[in-house]
């Protein structure tokens, strides 16, 4: 019996549930505090490293003398691979332009097909007073058969303009 009592005396009694919750929250809070402090301490070095990295990349790039894209051969890249990539970019750019143009044309055709049934041309003809195109084009002003209606002006009927101009000093 003494052995059983001695084992029970070595076991610590469990803390009440609210104390366990408090210890857990304290552990989480201390962890958050440590990571936040570490993050804030690393901000200046992150900024310096960012600008150093950007400057090194800029210094490594070849000088650009035209508007054309400049490729830097890094690692196992060869000029052939770069040329292939450049041709692929050009093809994709042209393909994209053609597809956009095709989409615009299809949209225009769809809009045209949607609008045409809504237009009642008989109403417009009635508003404008046009029944037939032939009736409207009967009196063509450019018709050459009726030359006798043309009035010609002769130079003798016009009054000549004075050729001498008096100066304003007199």
Q: Map out the domains of the chain as residue ranges.
A: 1-60, 72-132
Note the pLDDT tens digit of each residue in 109-168.
999 888 877 777 777 777 777 766 666 666 666 666 655 555 656 656 666 666 765 655
pTM above 0.75? Answer: no
| Residue 75 zone, left/alpha/beta (φ > 0; ψ -120 to 50; rest) | left
Q: Determine if residue 129 is left, alpha or beta; phi over 0 gives left, psi from -120 to 50 gives alpha, anything else beta.
A: left
pLDDT digits (tens, 9 = 90+) for 35-70: 999 999 999 999 999 999 999 988 887 777 777 777
Question: CA dihedral defined by 76, 81, 82, 83, rounded to 10 degrees?
Answer: 160
Q: Please, what sign has the CA dihedral across residues 112, 117, 120, 125?
A: positive
């Amino acid at each position: 019996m003494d052995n059983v009592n001695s084992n029970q005396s070595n076991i610590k009694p469990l803390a009440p549930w609210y104390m366990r919750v408090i210890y857990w929250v304290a552990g989480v809070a201390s962890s958050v505090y440590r990571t936040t402090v570490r993050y804030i301490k690393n901000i200046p070095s992150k900024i310096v490293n960012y600008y150093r990295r950007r400057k090194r990349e800029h210094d490594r790039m070849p000088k650009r003398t035209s508007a054309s894209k400049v490729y830097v051969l890094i690692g196992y890249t060869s000029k052939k691979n770069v040329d292939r990539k450049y041709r692929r970019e050009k093809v994709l750019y042209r393909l994209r332009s053609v597809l956009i143009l095709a989409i615009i044309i299809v949209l225009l055709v769809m809009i045209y097909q949607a609008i045409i049934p809504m237009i009642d041309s008989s109403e417009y003809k009635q508003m404008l007073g046009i029944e037939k195109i032939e009736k409207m084009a009967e009196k063509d002003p450019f018709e050459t058969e009726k030359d006798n209606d043309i009035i010609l002006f002769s130079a003798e009927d016009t009054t000549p303009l004075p050729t001498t101009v008096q100066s304003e000093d007199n």
